[in-house]
Amino acid sequence: MASFSRRLLRGSIPATVVGTTLYVTSQPLLADEGAPSPAGTVRCGRTPSGDKLPIYPTADADRPVTLIEAPHPLTPYIAQARETTTDALSGAGKYVEAGVSKWIGFERKVEKSPTDNPVEEVKSVVAQDEPLTPGIIYVLIAGLTGSVITRNRSFPLRWLAPPLFTVAAAPYFLPKTSHNIRAYLSDLEDKHFPELAARQDRFLSTASSHMEMTLDRLRGAEEGARVWGAKAVEGVENATGLRVADAVRKGQDKVEKEKAKLQGIAEQKLETVGYVVEQRPVAEIVRPAEEDKTSAPAKRLV
């Protein structure tokens, strides 16, 4: 009985495997026989409708094939970006060319001499007969001195002190260059801001007239002081009998003589006859001293 059941199991297992295989492969076999393919899929060697392709060429195969170009959706955006970039680069190139042309014009303007242009150019501001060093260094040191002096003061004073010290020191250390700068700025003001220049001229003329009036009053006061001094000297002479006026007159005569000498020296023309050059040793070159063989006594061997 046991052997029979074993035989039954052994025979049913292969039959089950074969039946399952046939069932699984039955659907593709039916599709190959002409069943329509699922939607969206085309089998190899068949048309979209599921028919087999012919082996021999047909009349429809000779007709021309028309290719329809489908542009990429990003093509217009890329073209627009390229055009925008090209326009930006061309604009930048124009700006650079304009800047270069302006710089070249500025250089040519600087190279012009004052005789070619009535307005003094930038190059003519620096006096040719006045060296910049060490005067410019002293001017900068004056500006730094103003900053150091006002380092603990309020902000407006700390901000205004350095330029004021610099402007005040420039006419002393660089008088000719400072005069040229003032003349150049005055010409620019007359050219570009004529109304402001006219107001400034009126203000300066009024200030100079007031200054002249003040000086005239001082001269009148000085003359009055001299008259009062002469009367005082005369009163002292009458009271004491001393000749104070003679002593004062002698002192005044000496002062006048010294003034005349100084004026003569100032009016005298000087010419350069030579230069004094200071020579300083840079280094010392030494070598071993050689003994003088002629002066040394000859040694004899005994």
205-264 pLDDT per residue, tens: 888 888 888 888 888 888 888 778 777 777 777 777 667 677 777 777 787 888 777 776
184 assigned to some structural domain: no
**Of 52, 33, 49, residue with least CA distance to 41:** 49
Dihedral, 272, 278, 279, 282 alpha carbons, nearest 10: -140
52 assigned to some structural domain: no
217 assigned to some structural domain: no
pLDDT at 78 over 90: yes
Buried b (16+ CB within 10 A) or exposed e, 61-87: eeeeeeeeeeeeeeeeeeeeeeeeeee
pLDDT digits (tens, 9 = 90+) for 270-296: 667 666 555 566 566 767 766 555 555
Show the tokens assigned to 265.
Answer: 């020296």
> DSSP code of 33?
T
105 assigned to some structural domain: yes
Question: Per this entry, what is the length of the chain?
Answer: 302
96 assigned to some structural domain: yes
Show the tokens assigned to 149.
Answer: 């002096």
**Of 221, 271, 230, residue with least CA distance to 249:** 230
**Predicted confidence band at 82 (pLDDT cuts at 50, 70, 90)?**
very high
Integer Cα distance of 162 and 140 in angstroms: 9
Q: Report the range out of 27-31, 85-89, 234-238 with the highest average pLDDT.
A: 85-89
97 assigned to some structural domain: yes
Instruction: Name the pTM for this structure.
Output: 0.36
Q: How many domains does the chain have?
A: 1
Integer Cα distance of 223 and 212 in angstroms: 16
pLDDT digits (tens, 9 = 90+) for 189-203: 888 888 888 888 888
138 assigned to some structural domain: no
pLDDT digits (tens, 9 = 90+) for 100-115: 998 888 777 766 544 4
Higher per-residue confidence, 31 vs 260: 260
Residue 99 domain boundaries = 80-111
